[in-house]
């Protein structure tokens, strides 16, 4: 029902009292002249759409219209106008920061039953309001335990070994090949066939074969047995090596099967790996020191560990914030948060193979309400954390750089575009407004955490994993 001519009177006798869970109860009165005007306005709207025999559209008398449409329908139309106009006006007069839609405290059917055009109408509505957060204690001087990053020593060692191998120095070598040398070989693979000459069956196409291949003599670098069988081989020598593909070989069809490789050695060269020192680092990048290289490698291979440690510390700081804050959580925001989580859960189910029919059966009001109660504790905690971040930012004048936000949003947009192309989609699933909001929330959280770190004592608990390496033993 659309409202016709505007009603100019304002709500009167507006009173506000605090409600529970960050809500406000607003009492208001709609003047009698406006209850009549709203009723007449609803009748006018209906009269313009209803065809009554003997009357032109818009010219149906009120008594006839009430008989044809019914007073309840006209009153419901009048209440739409009143809610749109007078309730909104009362909320503005009250000065509260309303969230979501106002809710009538009296059942709508009772209001409709008692509605008398021309008589004042007293209403009472409940509306959620933006919460007022209060810190009950200091945010400074706390001792907060945080886990030290769980560095992956093995990943560091492998990365550094790979760098040393890339910058290894080679020299011609007399005599047979040894572990650690580099061979240049021609190699061809064949299926193992006991009935064939030399057990060489059909050729293995495009599988570890080719001309002038560099073969580093390191155990476990290739399939088991290949490198060991070439120990002692000299330039010009050809060896036939029987191997068995491991169960986890990338060539699925060959897993667990035997094969024959014919290897012609063209050249044997010794390899010397550089020592881990400043000369080695400088060769990688001019001016780079070994200490700086070690830090860069650690950062690269342990990025996940750093990210996990940062997240854990942020969580510990947020726990301290929540413990120090007093704040009611509006039901409207809990509802929104639960809906987001519910939608994500259904999306995860679909991605994991749950049929659309099963997912559709989950989308019921009762199903959502049950999920909402399960999700409520975490939803309320997350909302309190976001309120606390905003409060801290206001107290300590922490700002979010909008240029940084724009850069991250653009990066995420490009990533979404790339993923869409890979999946054959014409357009990416990218809601810029939602992404921008998420980016701003994340950046603000980071800035708040940085400020809290400076004002509190962070004690890092050593993890079980080994500490980051600063040098690699030769070998």
CB atoms closer than 10 angstroms to residue 148: 17
* Contact between 372 and 308 (Cβ < 8 Å): no
Which residues, given as ranges, of the chain have pLDDT below 70?
Answer: 1-9, 50-60, 205-209, 248-254, 463-475
Backbone angles phi, psi at 450, to 5 degrees: -60, -40
Backbone angles phi, psi at 25, to 5 degrees: -100, 120
Residues with Cβ within 8 Å of 321's Cβ and at least 6 positions away in sequence, in order, are 139, 385, 388, 389, 392, 452
For the chain, list the domains and their CATH numbers: 12-129 (3.30.70.1050), 169-272 (3.10.50.40), 302-461 (1.10.3120)
Cα separation, 436 vs 194, whole angstroms: 66
- Collapse the DSSP code of 345 into the 3-class scheme (helix H, G, I; strand E, B; otherwise coil) and give the result: helix
Tokens of 119: 């008589």
Cα separation, 184 vs 214, whole angstroms: 5
Tokens of 347: 């999306």
pTM: 0.62
Cα separation, 318 vs 389, whole angstroms: 9
Tokens of 94: 């009250």
Angle at Cα 460 formed by Cα 458 and Cα 462, nearest 5°? Answer: 175
- 24-73 residue pLDDT tens: 999 999 999 989 988 888 888 877 776 666 666 656 677 777 777 788 88
DSSP state of 252: G
Burial bucket for residue 230 (CB in 10 Å: 0-12, 13-18, 19+): buried
Beta strands, E only, 156-223: 169-172, 182-192, 200-203, 210-216
> What is the predicted pLDDT for the residue at 475?
38
Cα separation, 423 vs 278, whole angstroms: 46
Cα separation, 255 vs 218, whole angstroms: 22
> What is the predicted pLDDT for the residue at 83?
83
> What is the predicted pLDDT for the residue at 27?
93
Tell me the angle at which helices 71-82 and 62-69 cross, rounded to the nearest 10 degrees.
100
Residues with Cβ within 8 Å of 247's Cβ and at least 6 positions away in sequence, in order, are 255, 256
> What is the predicted pLDDT for the residue at 162?
87
* Contact between 414 and 467 (Cβ < 8 Å): no
Strands 143-147 and 457-461: parallel
* Contact between 154 and 59 (Cβ < 8 Å): no
In whole numbers, what is the pLDDT of the chain averaged over residues? 85
Cα separation, 12 vs 30, whole angstroms: 6
* CA-to-CA dists, residue 387 to 196, 233, 327, 407, 448, angstroms: 77, 71, 8, 25, 12
């Amino acid at each position: 029902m659309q409202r016709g001519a505007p009603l100019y009177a304002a709500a009167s006798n507006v009173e506000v009292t605090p409600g529970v869970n960050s809500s406000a109860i607003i009492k208001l009165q709609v003047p009698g002249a406006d209850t009549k005007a709203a009723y007449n306005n609803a009748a006018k709207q209906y009269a313009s759409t209803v065809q009554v025999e003997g009357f032109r559209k818009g010219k149906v008398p009120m008594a006839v219209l009430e008989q044809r449409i019914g007073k309840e329908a006209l009153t419901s139309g009048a209440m739409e106008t009143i809610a749109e106009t007078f309730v909104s006006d009362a909320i503005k007069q009250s000065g509260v920061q309303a969230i979501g839609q106002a809710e009538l405290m009296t059942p709508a059917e009772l209001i409709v039953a008692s509605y008398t055009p021309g008589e004042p109408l007293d209403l009472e509505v409940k509306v959620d309001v933006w919460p007022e957060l209060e810190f009950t204690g200091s945010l400074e001087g706390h001792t907060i335990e945080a886990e030290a990053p769980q560095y992956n020593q093995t990943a560091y060692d492998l990365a550094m070994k790979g760098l040393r191998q890339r910058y290894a120095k080679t020299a011609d070598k007399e005599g047979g090949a040894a572990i650690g040398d580099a061979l240049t070989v021609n190699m061809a693979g064949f299926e193992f066939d006991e009935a064939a000459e030399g057990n060489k069956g059909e050729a293995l196409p495009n599988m570890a074969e080719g001309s002038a291949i560099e073969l580093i003599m390191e155990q476990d670098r290739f399939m088991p047995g290949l490198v060991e069988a070439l120990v002692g081989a000299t330039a010009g020598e050809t060896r036939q090596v029987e191997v068995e593909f491991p169960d986890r070989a990338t060539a699925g069809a060959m897993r667990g099967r035997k094969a024959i490789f014919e290897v012609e050695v063209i050249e044997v060269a010794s390899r010397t790996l550089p020592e881990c020192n400043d000369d080695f680092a400088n060769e990688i990048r001019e001016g780079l020191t070994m200490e700086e290289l070690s830090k860069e490698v650690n950062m690269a291979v342990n990025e996940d560990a750093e990210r996990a440690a940062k997240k854990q510390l942020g969580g510990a700081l947020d726990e301290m914030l929540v413990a120090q804050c007093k704040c009611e959580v509006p039901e409207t925001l809990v509802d929104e948060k639960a809906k987001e989580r519910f939608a994500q859960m259904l999306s995860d189910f679909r991605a994991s193979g749950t049929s659309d029919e099963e997912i559709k059966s989950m989308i019921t009001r009762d199903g959502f309400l049950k999920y909402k109660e399960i999700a409520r504790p975490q939803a309320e905690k997350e909302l309190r954390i976001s309120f606390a971040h905003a409060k801290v930012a206001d107290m300590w004048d922490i700002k979010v750089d909008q240029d940084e936000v724009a850069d991250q949003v653009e990066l995420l947009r490009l990533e979404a575009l790339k993923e869409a192309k890979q999946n054959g989609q014409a357009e990416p699933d990218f809601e810029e407004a939602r992404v921008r909001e998420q980016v701003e929330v994340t950046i603000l959280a980071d800035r708040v955490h940085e400020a809290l770190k400076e004002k509190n004592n962070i004690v890092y608990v050593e993890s079980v994993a080994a500490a980051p390496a600063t040098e690699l033993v030769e070998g």
